[in-house]
Structure 1
Amino acid sequence: MTEAEDQGEQPTPPEHQTRTGRTATGARKAAAKNPRSRAREFALQALYQHLVGGNEATAIDAFTRDLSGFHKADAVHYDALLHGCIAEAAELDALMAPLLDRTMERISPIERAVLWIGIYEMRHCLDVPWRVVLNECIELAKEFGGTDGHKYVNGILNGLAPTLRGTEVASDRSRKPRA
């Protein structure tokens, strides 16, 4: 028994915590993330190792699979993103190049990896709606990138969406009235 209960007082209940699924910075809490979102996070970290360290995909893959929480990620989606983005790096860069306002070398490795993930998913993961790809990449850039990196990612992926998912984008935009 606590001292308060011993004296006949009711214990004070703990403060209620809100469960919004967001941290103080606005990023999604780990518990609120689905397996594909987690796969994107691990793929981003792996692609960063590739871009910055020049590490090979197999070594990065082995390292990443040993990280805490990997078992909660969609391993198949992670594999597709990591190996697909590295295999198609030149094509992904070529697709984004016309929309860039700076040289490829001046883009943060985080934003570049997020763009690779977004472009790769728009090209190959047709089961994921284009707006979901866009939102997931913006969230990655907010959580891991620079202050306004998410705005840059949004601009590039929004610019590529009509080329990569033309029918889906046109259909989606025609249903939403403009204010």
Structure 2
Amino acid sequence: MSQARTNARKAAVQALYQWQMTGQNLGEIELQFQEEERLKDAQKSYFTELFHEIPKNLETLDQSLAEFVDRPVDMIDPVERAILRIGAYELLHRLNMPYRVILNESINLAKCFGADGSHKYINGILDKIAQKERAVEIKARTAGK
């Protein structure tokens, strides 16, 4: 994966966190990120996709998470919730992206922004979603070994 796409995910975590905490208008937050040059090294189109499509698909994403989390989605730490929503979005809507890449990127985001050990929690949940939503891809991968 490109560093620009990784940076887009990092910016999306921060923007989604801000949106979750303030309920601020998405356009205002995005404009703020552009003005502060927080998207300078990021793939802007991917940031925009994540930042606008995740709130648009929130109900579906949270339902897919709710099946595997140990508490209501709204009670999950806001940073971890933002990372989980990005991972779930990519697993459900970016079928051209290998699930292992999505899991690795999510783990790295958790190591970067989350609490100690949160990467294990994120990995566990997203891996279960992948097992359910990407079963054919996972089976093909294991059959090829």
CA distance in 2, matches of 1:67, 1:121: 26
CA distance in 1, matches of 2:49, 2:118: 24
CA contact (8 A) 2:11 2:38 kept: no
Question: In percent, how many aligned pairs have the same letter?
Answer: 38
CA contact (8 A) 1:118 1:137 kept: yes
RMSD: 1.4
Structure 2 residues not aligned, in runs of 5+: none
CA deviations on 1:93-114 (whole Å, 9 max, x unpaired) are 1111011112223211111110
Other-structure match for 2:141: 172
Q: Are positions 1:156 and 2:130 aligned together?
A: no
CA deviations on 1:16-75 (whole Å, 9 max, x unpaired) are xxxxxxxxxxxxxxxxx7100000001110000111111121111111122335122111
User: Which structure features the higher share of helix residues?
Assistant: 2
CA distance in 1, matches of 2:46, 2:73: 26
The structure whose RCO (Cα within 8 Å, separation 6+) is larger is 2
Larger-Rg structure: 1
Q: Which amino acid aligns with 1:64?
A: F
Other-structure match for 1:36: 5
Is the deviation greater in 121-130 or in 89-98? 121-130
Q: Are positions 1:97 and 2:72 aligned together?
A: no
CA distance in 2, matches of 1:73, 1:105: 28
Structure 1 residues not aligned, in runs of 5+: 1-32
CA distance in 2, matches of 1:39, 1:67: 14
Other-structure match for 2:29: 60
CA distance in 2, matches of 1:65, 1:128: 26
Aligned pair count reads 144
